[in-house]
Structure 1
């Protein structure tokens, strides 16, 4: 199993496969899921490998590094930072897309203040169990490595979804499964809303512990994203210690788990020096604040209550995350289930036992079991 990333870890050229301006695939790129043409010239593409491995496996991180003849380094995706975790039986690369059949692909979307790394270990587990599949992990706009890719316009659920669709178009991939946690769940629904109908093939969408409409605040003692974003905005852009930030967050009333998760967004400003350098945040907090406001305001019930043919929407409610779900939400989803069956679509409701909102951390085994049937039969 390997992971393909658009951020290069090493520069060592090895068995370089190249595309020139005369190669197949240059020019108009059409994606069946997006049905949008994107004009992208592919110049010289080299396959670069990293020695980095993961404990207990033979997983290799494979990186893609595009270089123009002028020597300028061009990131393969100027849309979003991403990794493509592939099962052992997947030989596909977007570089050689025309000569190899496209493997079944799943897109995994993180929540607010998260990153693609949140799905890393879970995606590798899926790829080991389903070796014919590949899993696209992205950093949504303003998050992780995508924060350095400046975006125009407003930062919303819809614009975040359009970014993912553009990336799929650039990679020429048509996903069979889209999984989104929390904010990412609404992004997944917005992707369905924005693509042309009918779809080229059936798509199964998973919305993990999020509802299509109103976002309800957590109960007393729970971590509130809006308050967390507000508190982080008051902190300096550079800090000297992750521990100090963890302590400050706990003192403010946030849980230790959330505090430790937040500081994974801190990186050394200068890695070249021998002495410890300041740490800086990798996200665009102002943009994230806009995105979270959009998350609270965006209503996508119409997609669920009139689900397009060929789309199957699955909602997963965390058992201990009751404050996020109103009885009216659950009732509407069950009504949509019955209606979708009659109209050839699909809506289902699932409950993940022994889990709070952080479903892939609280009960990864249970989540894996529930999601697994989406990847069977290939």
Structure 2
């Protein structure tokens, strides 16, 4: 079976003894968190980072099977078997955060640290996927193939998408003999989003496996986490069940809005006794 496309990052001259998966959000790629993975391993050289392209993203296109969170976990477990170091941690942003929690809930790996960046662990089946629905509808109405990256960018611009969105989606382009094409299967992406919104993982957050350091990083201005879920996470943090940090002024794209704060959060070692 095919393993997910990935890149392993370690600090220069280090001898890491464990590794952490870094998981992007929907329509992202493993490149999204590269600089943060580098900062993480430089500050904590006993770790390596494994930057992952989740199914139907980046260089992990055309994977078979169901397109849901459970399939994403299956993919990660297959990859864990292929990586030389033991996987003892996982970080995920948005959709990737829900995958990270699904991996924790599966219990197949002994995880020391789980970092969840701005995603609601609870189910919200009727909720829009944070504007991604609009983006997917826009992509559905556009051609899949283009003469060049610039032609793709201009098509997005004419469709009303701004420069940040153009750059984000442009990372999904695949070279062809005629130019480029948008790589991800949009029907598969829609299925992954449905699973993300329909899956409730709050229970594992409120009672994580013993030994797992569960950490949440939320943007102050983000509405990705409902008030009800945020209240539950805050209560769990007060009880010492998990760690919770809210980044002032940051929206859902916490790592874009406040990169220094995110690096500081990631590089903070475990202070538990």
8 Å contact kept, 2:118–2:218:
yes
Within a 5 Å distance, the mapping from 1:71-90 to structure 2 comes to 78-90=2-14
Tell me the CA shift for residue 137 of structure 1: 0.7
Tell me how large the CA RMSD over aligned residues is: 2.4
Within a 5 Å distance, the mapping from 1:284-295 to structure 2 comes to 284-295=185-196
Within a 5 Å distance, the mapping from 1:23-42 to structure 2 comes to none
Tell me the CA shift for residue 337 of structure 1: 3.0
Gaps of 5+ in 2: none
**Match in the other structure for 2:224:** 324
Indicate which of 332, 335, 359 corresponds to 2:235.
335
Considering only CA atoms, is the larger Rg found in Structure 1 or Structure 2? 1
Which one has more relative contact order, counting CA pairs under 8 Å at least 6 apart?
2
1:308 and 2:232 matched: no
Per-residue CA distance 1:278-311 (angstroms, 9 max, x = gap) = 2112222221111011111111111112222112
8 Å contact kept, 1:226–1:292:
no
1:298 and 2:199 matched: yes
CA 1:374 to 1:286, structure 2 compared with 1: closer, same or farther past 3 Å?
farther
Per-residue CA distance 1:48-96 (angstroms, 9 max, x = gap) = xxxxxxxxxxxxxxxxxxxxxxxxxxxxx822111101111335xxxxx
More divergent stretch after superposition (108-117 vs 169-178)? 169-178
**Match in the other structure for 1:177:** 89
Within a 5 Å distance, the mapping from 1:92-241 to structure 2 comes to 103-148=17-62, 150-152=63-65, 154-196=66-108, 200=110, 203-215=112-124, 216-217=127-128, 224-241=131-148
Aligned-partner SS, 2:60: helix
**TM-score for both structures, normalised by structure 1:** 0.66
**Match in the other structure for 1:65:** none
Per-residue CA distance 1:335-378 (angstroms, 9 max, x = gap) = 33355x4xxxx31211112322222222111100111114799x
Tell me the CA shift for residue 172 of structure 1: 4.8
Aligned-partner SS, 2:135: helix
1:252 and 2:159 matched: yes
Per-residue CA distance 1:142-174 (angstroms, 9 max, x = gap) = 1111104x322x201121122112211232543
Gaps of 5+ in 1: 1-76, 92-101, 271-276
Structure with a larger share of its residues in helix: 2
Output the CA distance in 2 between the equivalents of 1:118 and 1:211.
20
**Match in the other structure for 1:69:** none
